[in-house]
A and B are shown apart, each in its own frame.
Chain A
Amino acid sequence: MQEVSAFTPQLAASGIARVLWLVPAVPMVASGIIAVLKQPRRKTASGLAIGSLALSLVLALIAFGHVLAGWAHGAAVRETMNFTWIQVGSANVELGWVLDPLAAVMLVMVTFVGLLIFIYSIGYMAHDENYTRFFCFLSLFAGAMLGVVIANSILLLFMCWELVGLTSYLLIGFWYQKPSAAAAAKKAFLTTRVGDIFFLLGIVWLFAQTGTLLFYDSGAGSLESLALGGLLVHHAAWGLTAAGAIGLLIFAGAAGKSGQVPLHVWLPDAMEGPTPVSALIHAATMVAAGVYLIARVYPLMQAGSLAGGTTTALTVVTWVGAVTALFAALIAVAQNDIKRILAYSTVSQLGYMMAGLGVGGVAVGMFHLITHAFFKALLFMGAGSVIHGCHEEQDIRHMGALRGSMRTTFLTYAAGMLALCGFPLFSGFWSKDGILGAAHAWGPTRWPYFLLVFGALLTAFYMTRQVSYVFFGNWRGHGHAHESSAVMTMPLAILAFFAVTLGAIGTPAWPWFRAFLEDRTTASIEHEPGLMMLMLTSSVIVLVGLGLGWAIYGNKTVEAEAPDALERMAPPVWAVLRDKFYADELYGATVIAFYGWWARVADWLDRRVWGGLVAGVALLFRGWAQLNRFLDVNVVDGSFDKGCEELSNGGGLMARVQSGRGQTYLRLLAVAVVILTAILIWSSRG
């Protein structure tokens, strides 16, 4: 387990920590500029994207050097820059960024691998008409991912996290004219959203409990001992402390992003996107964000553990990781799409990282994350090169014998494949060995260790199967395979170099990486007991896997449509694996079916019940309105109209009398006088 490390609090942040925000900001700004560029300005678009990321790489390297220098001089730095974003009453919404070994390592990895993949994309997307849009999204993704890495506020982290999810959605659905790509994008978005809901709940809970959004805030942050102590005292349900419950909620978000069982279903489908996207987002960086998140909140996950013990949250992380590692490796054995095999392999390796975090601490998981980023990006880009060379063919049964026609791709791919398998002395060997060693020494139970070992065997097996199908045997495709251009093979070569050598930073003889992340000296790290035995075991397992794979698939001449060698041996098992343990069907039959049923119920309610109610009320009001209209027209208006008419008639009569002729008046006067006289006479006589 990781010791409580003694980071020296730095009050005055250094220059590079002050401008660390530039690392994500530069690609984001570049993305904004590319967004307003005109479609034909392809060179400007890719130049901007690559230039901005190169600048970020330089800044990341300076930051890394700064942290490294601090560590070499005694204590690694953890510098934070915090500021208040919004003030709501007495509560502050604070954002900030942090520069510590974890962030520095991740920054360098993301910018470096990202840059190589950007360069590779120039070649891969050369003929795509939406070239500028692609680089716009890619840049936005890089910025958001770097934002996740440097975030010191869980809110800022979540914002960048969602941005990353958005760009992932946009890029999976990049070829949205393809219905399968559009569906895959939707699936990825919705599945990760399930995890993100829990993540958000965890954030709210953490904020409610600790009153701060910051991770590190010179003693007042949520990951520092004061807040953790408070979280441990508070008990949630089922015997969990608040720290454990929040840790589990955050892990749900991480599991969604990192494709852990049972939220793994979106990741293989995400291969519908362009291959550079698969390499960058769905293998090297974004899916690692979940692992990074757990590493970032590790003090929270670990809080409350006794010496050498574990916590509920970490146990869950371990088990989910180990099960995922084996589960996905099993499925990968029976896939035929070159990218899908790699996708399941990614899910499996993410499981290793999670398990590594659970059993061994931040350094163990992160080390595999870093090495995996290099060799998996290499494998995906190699696969992209193969797909390009085989005229957009993705089925490994329609490839074969490419080792001759695609020499560079083959050599680099082989390096990546051996690193992934954990072949001795390759980078994957050291990082995977670290995880296996920690799992072996894990207190509660050995089961995760056995699962992971079996997973390692399968990894070697399915990668041998894939390489045999693609690069050996006989050519089963159409036309002629050709090697890709230098702009695509150069990044492959660079990545291959690191895939082979990167393990050197974390060998048991010189555990530099772990010491750096945990802020200790390399000498202070004690070796696991029985280390040599473990290394021997894992080497033997890898060799057995490779040997089995070669024995079954190696360099054979087969028909493209012929059933797989394993399928002939055990058809029912093969069918289950090929259909991915029916995970999609299971979701289709449960979650999706439930939603469908619920939607139909809601529709029925809406149409019949609420619709009827609304129609009834409408009818009532219409009747009332008709009555009002009748009253208005006939009573109110009628009486008024009648009165006006009478007035008008009377006025007309009087107007006729007032003719303006004096004689008429006189005549009337005379008649009146006569009548009056008659009355006078009549009455005096009476």
Chain B
Amino acid sequence: MSLATPLASYLLVSALVFAIGLAGALTRRNAILVLIGIELMLNAANLNLIAFWRFGPHPEALTGMMFAIFSIAVAAAEAAVGLGLVIQVYRHAKTTDLDQMNRMKG
């Protein structure tokens, strides 16, 4: 089977999304934006999973799909937990600015 789009293109897009997510997670001060960055990185990983499945030796098996769906479910749960945490922190500190949340210092 021949595909119009080669694997490298998928990987490039995925790496780009990952880089954008990473940059967002590392540089944003707003906790919600950091969460969005993390979601972006997760989705980049999912894209990689799908791409490697499609171009892998056994595309007829639905393993890649299964992985991606699991990953999305876990990401959804993680996002829910992360948002819950952010809301709790906000209630406690009246801010979502991560630079002011340095109470994790041991």
**Are A660 and B103 neighbours in the complex by a CB distance under 8 Å?**
yes
CA distance A659 to B104 in the complex (A): 8
A662:B104 contact, CB within 8 angstroms? yes
User: A663 touching B104 by the CB < 8 A rule?
Assistant: no
> Does A8 belong to the interface (CB within 8 Å)?
no
A660/B26 in contact, CB under 8 A? no
A667 interface residue (CB < 8 Å to B)? yes
Name A's interface SS.
helix
Contact A661 B106, CB 8 Å, known A666-B25, A670-B22: no
B62 interfacial contact with A, CB 8 Å: no
Closest CB in chain A relative to B83 CB, distance in Å: 16
**Distance between B37 CB and nearest chain A CB, rounded to angstroms:** 10
Tell me if B93 is interfacial: C-beta within 8 Å of chain A.
no
- Is the C-beta of B105 less than 8 angstroms from some C-beta in chain A? yes
CB of A8, distance to nearest CB on chain B (Å): 108
Q: Give the residues in chain B near A658, CB-CB below 8 Å.
A: 105-106
Find out whether the CB atom of B105 lies under 8 angstroms from the CB atom of A659.
yes
> How far in angstroms is the closest Cβ of chain B from A681?
14
Q: Mark A650-662, 1 if CB is under 8 A from B, else 0.
A: 0000000011111
A667 adjacent to B104 (CB under 8 Å): no
Q: Is B47 an interface residue (CB 8 A)?
A: no
Cβ proximity bits A666-686 to B, threshold 8 Å, 1 near / 0 not: 110010000000000000000
- Closest beta carbon of chain B to A58's beta carbon, Å: 101
Q: Please tell me if the beta carbons of A659 and B102 are within 8 angstroms of each other in the complex.
A: yes
How near does chain A come to B52, taking the closest CB pair, in angstroms? 18
Q: How far is the CA of A418 from the CA of B51 in the complex (A)?
A: 158
Interface residue count on the B side (C-beta < 8 Å): 12
Contact residues of B between 24 and 43, Cβ < 8 Å to A = 25-26, 34
Which of A661, A666, A670 is within 8 Å of B104, CB to CB?
A661
- Render B15-29 as a binary contact track against A, CB cut-off 8 A, 1 for contact: 000000010011000
Residues of A near B102 (CB, < 8 A) are 659-661
Contact B98–A661 (Cβ < 8 Å)? yes
Q: Report Cα–Cα, A661/B101, bound state, in Å.
A: 7
Given contacts A661-B98, A661-B99, A662-B98, is CB(A667)–CB(B105) below 8 Å? Answer: no
Which residues in A have their C-beta under 8 angstroms from that of B101? Answer: 660-662
**Could you tell me which residues of chain B, from 85 to 106, have a CB within 8 Å of some CB in chain A?**
98-99, 101-106
Measured CB to CB, the nearest residue on chain A to B25 is A666
Known: A660-B103, A660-B104, A662-B104. A670 touches B26 (CB 8 A): yes
Q: Are A667 and B98 in contact (CB under 8 A)?
A: no
In Å, the complex CA distance between A667 and B25 comes to 9
Provide the bound-state CA to CA distance between A661 and B106, in Å.
11
Nearest A-chain residue to B27, judged by Cβ = A663
Cβ contacts under 8 Å, A661 to chain B = 98-99, 101-102, 104
Q: Which residue of A lies closest to B29 (CB)?
A: A663
Bound form: Cα–Cα A666–B101 in Å: 14
Instruction: Across the interface, name the chain B residue whose C-beta is closest to A663.
Output: B98
Mask: chain A, 623-660; 1 = CB below 8 Å from B; 0 = not: 00000000000000000000000000000000000111
Q: Which residues of A contact B25 (CB under 8 A)?
A: 663, 666
Complex contacts, B106 vs chain A, CB 8 Å: 658, 660
Do B34 and A663 touch across chains, with their CB atoms under 8 A apart? yes
CA distance A667 to B104 in the complex (A): 16
**In the assembly, what is the distance between CA of A230 and CA of B2, in Å?**
147
Interface residues of B (CB under 8 A from A): 22, 25-26, 34, 98-99, 101-106
A660-B101, A660-B102, A663-B34 known, 8 other contacts, Cβ within 8 Å: A658-B105, A659-B102, A660-B104, A661-B101, A662-B98, A663-B25, A663-B99, A667-B26
* 15 pairs of residues in contact across A and B, judged by CB atoms under 8 Å: A658-B106, A659-B105, A660-B101, A660-B102, A660-B103, A660-B104, A661-B101, A662-B98, A662-B101, A662-B104, A663-B26, A663-B34, A663-B98, A666-B26, A670-B26
Chain A contacts to B: CB under 8 angstroms: 658-663, 666-667, 670
